[in-house]
Amino acid sequence: MKVSKLLIYGALLAAASQSSFAQVFRCDAGGGKVTFSDQPCADGSAGKQVQRKRTEQEIMDDQMRADMANERKYRARAAEQGQLASDRQETLMRMNQPAPAPAPLAASQGCKDAQKDYDFVASIRTGSDADRRIRTNAAITKVNAACGSNTPLQQEPKKVIIHNHAPVGGPVTCNGNWCTDSQGNVSPRMR
């Protein structure tokens, strides 16, 4: 209900702005019914004037202000488009010129700092092998990025799996702590 009242009110105000001399009255007819009209409210209904009838001078003044605002808007757009055109020309001119040669990354301060960090990380001997490998790989990655190098990362060592069961197939030969079956399977000697 409120939305429809607002829509009606907005539509009437829009229509009122179209007709320059219009005045708008809001009339409460009772029972929650509201009407808008360019005529005063009928007898027996409460109402008030929403927009008074404007004079010709007020209308001309409003029109002049609107025309001046439109003129400023169009000039601002034209100036902006002119600036965009000059920026576009400047970009095209820069594109036709050869780009300056980039400084070698290996000589940059960032590369030197990354190598210094790597040297520090590589000198740390505390922690597990896995932790040292992770820290070292992070430092190598920084050096590669800063210096443009491609140093390989340290790989995780291969895991040795020892089976704690006796060989299953065929005759078993044991030497010291290890036993080998006829199929070549090796397992620790069970005591």
Q: Helix, strand, or coil here: 104?
A: coil
Predicted TM-score (pTM) of this structure: 0.34
The pLDDT of residue 139 is 92
Q: What is the pLDDT of residues 107-137, one digit of tens each?
A: 888 899 999 999 998 898 888 888 888 989 9
> And the tokens for 107?
């000589």
Among 155, 180, 178, 149, CA closest to 167: 180
Cα–Cα dist 169/34, whole Å: 100
Average pLDDT, the chain: 77
Question: Per-residue pLDDT for 3 more than 70?
Answer: no
Q: What is the pLDDT of residues 141-171, one digit of tens each?
A: 999 888 888 888 888 888 777 765 554 556 7
Q: What is the pLDDT of residues 27-60, one digit of tens each?
A: 877 777 888 777 777 766 667 777 777 788 888 8
Report phi then psi at 97, rounded to 5. Answer: -90, 145
Cα–Cα dist 8/101, whole Å: 67
